[in-house]
């Protein structure tokens, strides 16, 4: 690197002191082809699988159902509010909530994630409107929060 050019500032949680958030929306245990469901929802999934696919290339275990996953990462948000995080996760689905009405009763919609934060900063507030949307999607919600005074997880 040119000695006269300053190095760019790191965006890591360690230096910025802001939380890092990972969140996934997983839809599984449905009968349709996952590509057809993704098209009906108007999304591009991070990952999709079909019943019988290998769970991992190094394992012999096979998927028991069709599924897809949409994945998000949020960094450099100084004091995230969980409602904003959930809104980001569900926003791709808002125009097509009727598709969830047609999923079989045995299907599962899970929204889950993790917050890695150097100090207590995440506000865990969810608005009634967001809760109604989660109910309409028949989605469960789980968020793990990991706190570290020195943020060594990065």
Q: What residues does each domain of the chain span?
A: 16-30+69-147
Confidence of residue 5 (pLDDT cuts 50, 70, 90): very low
Residue 35 tokens, joined = 């590509």
Task: Point out the least confidently predicted range of 6-10, 76-80, 106-110, 131-135.
Answer: 6-10
- Predicted local distance difference test score (pLDDT) of residue 24: 95
CA 17 – CA 150 distance, rounded (Å): 9
Please state, in angstroms and as integers, the Cα–Cα distance from residue 138 to each residue in 34, 102, 105, following that order.
Answer: 18, 11, 9
Per DSSP, the three-state class of 126 is coil
Helix (H) or strand (E) run with residue 19 in it: none
At residue 151 the predicted structure's pLDDT band, cuts being 50, 70 and 90, is: very low
- Over its C-alpha atoms, the chain yields an Rg (Å, rounded) of 18
Give the DSSP H or E segment for 42: none
Reported as a single tens digit per residue, the pLDDT across 119-141 is 766 778 899 999 999 999 999 99
- Give me the helix-helix angle, 82-90 and 128-136, nearest 10°: 30
What gap in Å lies between CA 59 and CA 71, rounded to an integer? 23
- pLDDT band per the 50, 70, 90 thresholds, residue 80: confident
pLDDT tens, position by position, 16-75: 456 688 999 999 999 889 999 999 999 999 999 999 888 888 888 988 999 999 998 887
Q: What is the pLDDT of residue 149?
A: 59
> pTM to 2 decimals?
0.77
CB 40 within 8 A of CB 99: yes
Mean pLDDT along residues 100-114:
94
pLDDT at 2 over 60: no
Q: Please report the pLDDT score of residue 17 as a whole number.
A: 56
């Amino acid at each position: 690197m040119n000695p006269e050019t300053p190095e760019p500032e790191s965006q890591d949680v360690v230096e910025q002191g802001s939380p890092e958030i990972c969140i996934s929306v997983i839809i599984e245990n449905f009968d349709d082809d996952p590509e057809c469901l993704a098209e009906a929802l108007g999304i591009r999934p991070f990952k999709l699988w079909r019943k019988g696919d290998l769970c991992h290339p190094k394992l012999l275990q096979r998927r028991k159902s069709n599924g897809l996953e949409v994945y998000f990462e949020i960094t450099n948000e100084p004091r995230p509010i969980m409602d904003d995080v959930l809104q980001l996760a569900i926003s791709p689905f808002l125009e097509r909530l009727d598709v969830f009405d047609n999923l079989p009763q045995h299907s599962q919609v899970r929204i889950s994630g993790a917050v890695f934060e150097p100090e207590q900063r995440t506000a865990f507030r969810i608005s009634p409107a967001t809760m109604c949307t989660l109910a309409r999607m028949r989605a469960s919600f789980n968020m793990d929060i990991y706190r570290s005074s020195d943020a060594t997880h990065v």
